[in-house]
């Protein structure tokens, strides 16, 4: 051996490299690999990545039922909860590594794939597959996943916003729950005098812009053009920021920044009666409120969020969402689409999704089904939350994405603290956001 140092070295190097590569098998490398299994059945692997284990559980459950439609195929499912799905998918695409057949991506990450039309080349357009079924669903839940007129994702939840409130606080002051923003300001002023706020507020653009969407504003139009600075959007933005200013100055809005917005400080304020309610999406109930304020069972109710007195805008807004998209690399896109369609676009499974993982249906017929709309919840004093959501769901704002959404929202978030502190006016905020976003767009050209 010692007579051949190069041979020894080469052998060690090869063994070392083999050891290194052997442990790094990609999670979904075998995805969509078809092979003849024993017994003559065709073997098909379907893989999926998403950030939320609940989706993994739901798809696993549904796939076990769905596969009965294909008796000649033996399915292997590789469904995984993967943190930071967007980055991992991007890294795999860039490095030529395989990506899963199905990807569950938060709506906020979708515009990143719109950059340089990545979405068109790496994901399957679902527009024709969805076809006429599109109108069975809340339209505002398709548009966040649209690019150049094509739909690339199927939504996982309604995510419509409502007003969660504590009736005892309103009863104590002999006040009605406000139905318009004017009433909201009147009621809020009375409560604020006693140090009770109407709702929490944070300086995150995604939360503040929720109010902008309710008023009927648009950041980008259907073609992806930046229209936030144009009329009527500029005026709408001013009105919403003026509402925000009034709420902040009077103490009607309980400011909770950063992690406080989701954590104990906010729930202490609820429990201590310093905070009467919150305008939040449907998922807030199961994902945040009930787990963190379990001992407040029976003390909450919900109502539609206040509307603008002039009748313009919407009866609800929208925040969040996760779209499931099929990758172009999938070797079985028809089967993957069939699974997605079965699990997400049939009435019974929309209802089952709610029953299993508590995400409200965005299929109108499913939402109006008594199993959803008449289901009472003891946490809300046996109120039927679904009926409140069903009453506003079809009015969920339609809004559009763009590859410049990150630029727009980053600047909006950057400007908000100064607005909260009172060192920037509403007009200055809007001007700064428009200027920076337009600059980014121009720089891209």
Partner 1 sequence: MRAVHELPAENQPSASWRRQDRLAPYLFVSPFYILFVIFFLGPTIFAIVLSFFRWSALGTPTFRGARNYTKLFDDPVFWTSVQNTLVYSAASLFWVVPLALLLAVALDAKLLRGKSFWRGMYFSPIVTSAVAVSLVFVILYNKDYGLINAPLIGLGFEPINWLGSTFWVKFSLIGLITWRWTGLTMIYFLAGLQSIPVVLYEAASIDGATSFQQLRFITLPSLRPVIIFVSVIVLIGSWQIFEEPYILTQGGPGNASISIVQYLYSRGIQRLEFGYASTVGVTLFGVVFTLSLLQLYWFGVFRSEE
Contact assessment for residue 198 and residue 163, using Cβ atoms and an 8 Å cutoff: no
Judge contact between 416 and 207, C-beta under 8 A.
no
Residue 323 to residue 154: CA distance in whole angstroms? 5
Contact flag: residue 328 with partner 1 (CB under 8 A): no
Strand segments (E) across 168-268: 199-201, 253-255
- Which of the ranges 45-53, 153-161, 191-199, 412-420 carries the binding residues for partner 1, by CB under 8 A? 412-420
Positions 184 through 213 that interact with partner 1 (CB under 8 A): 203
State the binding string over 416-435 for partner 1 (x if CB under 8 A, else -): xxx-xx--------------
38: which DSSP letter? G
Is the separation of the CB atoms in 318 and 159 below 8 Å?
yes
Shortest distance, CB of residue 371 to partner 1, whole angstroms?
Answer: 39
Q: Which of 27, 73, 97, 112 binds partner 1 (CB under 8 A)?
A: 112
**257 Cβ contact partners less than 8 Å away, ≥ 6 residues apart:** 202, 203
Interaction between residue 88 and partner 1 (CB under 8 A): no
Interface residue with partner 1, options 42, 53, 268, 309 (CB under 8 A): 268
Residue 71 Cβ vs partner 1, minimum distance, rounded to whole Å: 39
Q: Which of residues 339-378 bind partner 1 (CB under 8 A)?
A: none
Judged by CB under 8 A, the chain residues 119 through 178 that form the site for partner 1 are 121-122
Side-chain-facing half-sphere of 168: CA atoms under 13 Å: 13
DSSP states of 146-164? EETTEE--EES---BEEEE
**Minimal CA–CA distance to 369: which of 303, 353, 357, 382?**
353
90 belongs to the binding site for partner 1 (CB under 8 A): yes
Q: In the bound complex, what is the minimum distance in angstroms from residue 44's beta carbon to partner 1? A: 27
402 binds partner 1 (CB under 8 A): no
| Maximum separation of any 2 CA atoms in the chain, in Å | 97
Q: At closest approach, how far in Å is the CB of 91 from partner 1? A: 8
Residues that bind partner 1 (rule: CB under 8 A) add up to a total of 39
Q: How far is the CB of 417 from partner 1 (least distance, A)?
A: 4
Select the span of 51-59, 313-321, 386-394, 414-422 touching partner 1 (CB under 8 A). Answer: 414-422
What is the SS3 assignment for 290? helix
Residue 401 as a binder of partner 1 (CB under 8 A): the answer is no
- Closest approach of Cβ 100 to partner 1, in Å? 17
Q: Does 116 bind partner 1 (CB under 8 A)?
A: yes
Q: Between 18 and 378, whose beta carbon lies closer to partner 1?
A: 18
Between 298 and 417, name the residue whose CB sits nearer to partner 1. Answer: 417
Q: What is the closest distance, in whole angstroms, from the C-beta atom of residue 48 to partner 1 in the complex?
A: 21
Task: By CB under 8 A, name the one of 406, 431, 438, 441 that touches partner 1.
Answer: 406
- Under rule CB under 8 A, residue 410 binds partner 1: yes
**Of positions 29, 414, 431, 438, contacts partner 1 by CB under 8 A:** 414
- Which residue spans within 168-250 are E strands per DSSP? 199-201
- Cβ(107)–Cβ(144) below 8 Å: yes
* Cβ contact 321:157 at 8 Å: yes
Nearer Cβ to partner 1 (63/257) = 257
Q: Please identify, using beta-carbon distances, which residue of 113 and 337 lies nearer to partner 1.
A: 113
Burial class of residue 70 in the structure, from the number of CB atoms within 10 Å of its CB (0-12 exposed, 13-18 middle, 19+ buried): middle
Least Å from the CB of residue 331 to partner 1 = 20
Give the residue, chosen from 53, 69, 87, 148, that forms a contact with partner 1 under the rule CB under 8 A.
87
Return d(Cα 363, Cα 146) in angstroms, integer.
18
Q: Give the start-end residues of each E strand in 138-293.
A: 146-147, 150-151, 154-155, 161-165, 199-201, 253-255, 277-281
| DSSP string over 63-119 | HHHHGGG-TTEEEEEEEEE-TTHHHHHHHHHHHT----SEEEEEGGGHHHHHGGGHH
Smaller CB separation from partner 1, 90 or 293 = 90
Q: Is the dihedral angle over the CA atoms 124, 127, 133, 135 positive or is it negative?
A: positive
Site string for partner 1, 228-267 (x = CB under 8 A): ---------------------------x-xxxx--xxx--
415 binds partner 1 per the rule CB under 8 A: yes
Q: Which residues bind partner 1 (CB under 8 A)?
A: 3-6, 9, 13, 87, 90, 93-94, 112, 115-116, 118, 121-122, 203, 255, 257-260, 263-265, 268, 406-407, 410, 413-418, 420-421, 443-444
């Amino acid at each position: 051996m010692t007579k051949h140092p190069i041979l020894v070295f080469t052998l060690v190097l090869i063994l070392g490299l083999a050891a290194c590569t052997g442990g790094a098998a990609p999670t979904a490398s075998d995805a969509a690999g078809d092979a003849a299994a024993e017994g003559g059945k065709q073997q098909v692997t379907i893989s999926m990545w998403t950030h939320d284990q609940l989706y993994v559980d739901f798809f696993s459950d549904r796939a076990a039922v769905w596969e009965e439609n294909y008796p000649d195929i033996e399915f292997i499912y590789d469904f995984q909860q993967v943190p930071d799905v967007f980055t991992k998918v991007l890294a795999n695409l860039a490095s030529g590594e395989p990506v899963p057949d199905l990807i569950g991506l938060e709506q906020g990450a979708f515009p990143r794939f719109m950059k340089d039309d990545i979405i068109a080349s790496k994901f399957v357009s679902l527009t024709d597959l969805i076809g006429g079924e599109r109108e069975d669903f809340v339209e505002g839940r398709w548009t966040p996943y649209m690019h150049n007129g094509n739909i690339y994702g199927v939504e996982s939840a309604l995510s419509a916003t409502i007003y969660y409130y504590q009736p005892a606080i309103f009863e104590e002051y002999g006040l009605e729950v406000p139905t318009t923003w004017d009433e909201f300001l009147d009621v809020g002023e009375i409560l604020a005098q006693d140090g009770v706020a109407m709702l929490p507020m944070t300086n995150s653009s995604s939360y503040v812009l929720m109010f902008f969407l309710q008023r009927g504003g648009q950041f980008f139009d259907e073609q992806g053009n930046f229209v936030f600075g144009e009329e009527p959007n500029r005026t709408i933005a001013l009105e919403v920021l003026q509402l925000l200013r009034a709420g902040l100055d009077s103490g009607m809005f309980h400011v909770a920044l950063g992690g406080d917005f989701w954590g104990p400080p906010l729930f202490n304020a609820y429990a201590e009666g310093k905070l009467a309610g919150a305008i939040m999406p449907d998922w807030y109930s199961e994902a945040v409120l009930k787990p963190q304020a379990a001992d407040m069972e029976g003390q909450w109710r919900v109502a539609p969020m206040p509307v603008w007195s002039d009748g313009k805008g919407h009866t609800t807004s929208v925040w969040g969402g996760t779209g499931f998209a099929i990758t172009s690399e999938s070797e079985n896109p028809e089967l993957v689409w069939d699974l997605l369609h079965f699990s997400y676009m049939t009435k019974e499974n929309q209802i089952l999704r709610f029953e299993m993982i508590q995400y409200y249906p965005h299929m109108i017929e499913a939402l109006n089904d008594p199993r959803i709309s008449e289901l009472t919840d003891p946490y809300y004093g046996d109120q039927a939350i679904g009926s409140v959501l069903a009453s506003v769901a079809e009015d969920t704002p339609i809004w559009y994405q763009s590859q410049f959404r990150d630029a727009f929202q980053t600047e909006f978030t950057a400007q908000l603290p100064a607005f909260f502190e009172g060192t920037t006016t509403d007009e200055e905020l809007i001007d700064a956001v428009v200027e920076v976003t337009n600059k980014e767009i121009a720089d891209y050209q």
